[in-house]
Amino acid sequence: MNTFKKSIERAILHDPHKVTIYRTTKKNTGKGYMETVKETLPTQIVRIYPIKSDGYRITDQHGTQSVDRHYRLLGLPDLDIQADPKNKDLVESILGVFEVLEIYPYTRGGLVVGLQADLKRVSRDAISNHKK
């Protein structure tokens, strides 16, 4: 199993990126409303790379938009990254700012040896909005 994890480490070290993750979490207060908690996580090392895509459309609560370039993130299993209805992670790197759309565990033999995440490029304004 160590062999698979080492291959993930080598892939990350092939083109490493220091990233800062900004997390926005919505927590139920139990009083009939959701509280928004914002936190900045410590710097982590990952690999971010573009993947070939013919473009696709994303539909969410804000409407539909076309995406012409698709990025993916590769990280070790201990990477602190989330993407679900209550957690929104923004990843800031030298390549820009990205929103985490989906996370896929990379498994071998029933054990998680790495994580992959689909990313969408967003404006740098998203980071300044997070810090407010």
More confident residue, 41 or 65: 41
Give the list of residues 6+ apart from residue 39 with CB closer than 8 angstroms, or none.
22, 23, 25
Angstrom CA distances, 14 to 37, 41, 57, stand at 35, 24, 31
**Residue 105 structural domain:** 2-130
User: What DSSP designation does 128 have?
Assistant: H
pLDDT bucket at 45, cuts 50 / 70 / 90? very high
Greatest CA span in the chain, whole angstroms? 49
Average pLDDT (2-25) is 91
Mean pLDDT score of the chain: 85
User: What DSSP designation does 41 have?
Assistant: P
Give the list of residues 6+ apart from residue 56 with CB closer than 8 angstroms, or none.
66, 67, 70
Domains of the chain: total: 1
Round to whole Å and give the CA distance between 48 and 98.
Answer: 10
Q: What percent of the chain has pLDDT over 90?
A: 51
Domain containing 121 — which CATH number?
A: 2.40.10
pLDDT at 75: 95
